[in-house]
Structure 1
Amino acid sequence: MDPDPWLIALTLAATLWGAAAGTLLPRPAYRFTADEDTPWHQACPAGHRITGPAAGWLGPARCTTAPTAPPSTVQPPTCAYGPRTPAVVTMTALVCASLALATGFRPELAVWLLLAPLGVLLALVDLGAQRLPDPLTLPFAGLALALLGGVAFVPEHAGEWRTAAYGALALGGFYFLFFLLRPVALGFGDVKLALGLGAVLGWYGWGALYLGTFAGALIGSAYTLVLAVRGRAVRGQLVALGPFMIAGAYVALLLEAYAA
């Protein structure tokens, strides 16, 4: 079968979008990767005050501004910090391209492409600090429900907003119950992340919700097993669940979108 040139063009556009969005993520990834007592980093590791577009929140993690300490006779050099921009750009571009290939021209693709960079950012922050800040998790859940609610009125969509809302409540409730039973195993940020992921997965039905939850647990278990085999696992060590939850939802979303 000859490849669809329009699908190729759509995938290319999604790739470019992912690459462009990925260039904006390293700086917020660094700024949010902070302890719970610190809302976000105000300066880079070298002491430079972070400034730039959107008050220093968007773009590559590098700076050339003056340090926060009293100025000296020697100006500190430009520094780079946080996640490497090429790696983040590549990751976000691949995620967006694969979502375009699986979803095609259905209107919910616009929602997936808008949420994908935020999902990458959430994974980066949780990997770096083992926390999922409210300024990221709550907008992710709100945007997912609001955008899918709008897409539900667009012809040719392949999901249901009602099951998206139920999915958010179901997965959020499941993780909330888990949090009450085992508060040392996960944080409340994981519960808030589950609201958004439940909405995304619930769009394609309960099967997608089960698949995404199971896939996330499977990926997390495989990662823990690899650490144990390599002798790097520590008894009682906390593991960031957010990246595995996001990875499981991503796998399920690809499969369900392709099959829809």
Structure 2
Amino acid sequence: MTGVLVIVLAAGYGVAAGLLLPRPAYRLSVEPGDPWQGRCPQGHRLAGRLGGWLGPARCRTSLRPPAPPHAYGRRAAPLAVLTAAVCAVLAAAVGARPELVAYVGLAPLLVLLALVDRAVHRLPDVLTLPLAAAVAALLGAAALAPGSAGSWRLALLGGGALGAAYLMLHLINPAGMGFGDVKLALSLGVALGWYGWGVWSAGAFLGLLYGALYGTYVLLRRPDERNQGYAFGPFMAAGALTGVLLGGFGA
């Protein structure tokens, strides 16, 4: 019964968080060097919660009487379903352990990063660096609580190791592996290292495998796009998610 309640609560949190993602996904999806989006595609200034950073991607005009809201960017409902599903499967795997707060709590931020990366092939520092600090801090707190099933020391070592591995890939092929991927690898390595080197290896390998499979698909089915890069962050996130699920169920 406790497990079911934890899954339901995690899914509810995922729905609530997912409904807030369309606006930041739109605002952060800009090219490097450009300011964050401050207006909708029709030119209306964005305002609302926290300076217009959270919530569905829709706005009203300043006409009198006010015109109906118009939508832009991602729809809120599919993102709510996606985020709820991610949070629910994490809760099912990890269970009512202290580390669940870190994994479920930060899952919407990882979804947001994947959305931005898919849109503009960019992983902004404003998301990747706080994510790395937050997952390390939350897992550190979980390690002090009774009932945790991982190691904070291994988590920190995992973050450093995966970050170093992706840094090497970036130095070898900067065009194929962006520096944003290196920074994302820090937080994913921490999340994977918590459950040990076996889970770390599985999650790191699966992220590369998912990306390679997609690259092969593009090469075979979309030859006109073979010289274009593609967002690797979502595959890194999917590999890490798979690894954490394996670690959670194994623990």
TM-score, scaled relative to structure 1? 0.92
1:51 equivalent to 2:47? Answer yes
Deviation at 1:27, TM superposition (A): 0.4
* Distance in 1, Cα, partners of 2:189 & 2:167: 13
- Contact 1:28/1:58 (<8 A) preserved: yes
**Distance change (3 Å), C-alpha of 1:229 and 1:236:** closer
- Contact 2:57/2:73 (<8 A) preserved: yes
- Contact 2:60/2:66 (<8 A) preserved: no
* 2:144 match: secondary structure: coil
Alpha-carbon deviations, 1:127-175, whole Å to 9, x = none?
0010000010000000011111111100110100001111111111111
Unmatched tracts of structure 2, length 5 or more? none
- Contact 1:224/1:233 (<8 A) preserved: no
Letter in 2 for 1:27: R
Deviation at 1:74, TM superposition (A): 10
1:143 equivalent to 2:141? Answer no
Letter in 2 for 1:110: V
1:64 equivalent to 2:60? Answer yes
Deviation at 1:76, TM superposition (A): 6.8
* 2:225 match: secondary structure: coil
Unmatched tracts of structure 1, length 5 or more? none
Deviation at 1:78, TM superposition (A): 2.8
Match of 2:232 among 235, 241, 256: 241
2:195 is matched with which residue? Answer: 204
1:91 equivalent to 2:82? Answer yes
* 1:46 match: secondary structure: coil
- Contact 2:26/2:57 (<8 A) preserved: yes
Deviation at 1:230, TM superposition (A): 2.5
1:6 equivalent to 2:6? Answer no
Letter in 1 for 2:6: L
1:189 equivalent to 2:185? Answer no
1:42 is matched with which residue? Answer: 38
2:245 is matched with which residue? Answer: 254
* Distance in 2, Cα, partners of 1:177 & 1:76: 53
Note the aligned Cα RMSD (angstroms): 1.6
- Contact 2:29/2:116 (<8 A) preserved: yes
* Distance in 1, Cα, partners of 2:198 & 2:136: 18
Deviation at 1:258, TM superposition (A): 0.5
How many residue pairs get matched? 251
- Contact 1:51/1:65 (<8 A) preserved: no
2:111 is matched with which residue? Answer: 120
Deviation at 1:218, TM superposition (A): 1.2
* Distance in 2, Cα, partners of 1:232 & 1:97: 37
Match of 2:13 among 13, 17, 30: 17
Deviation at 1:232, TM superposition (A): 5.2
- Give the fraction of aligned pairs with identical amino acids, expressed as a percent: 49
1:167 is matched with which residue? Answer: 158
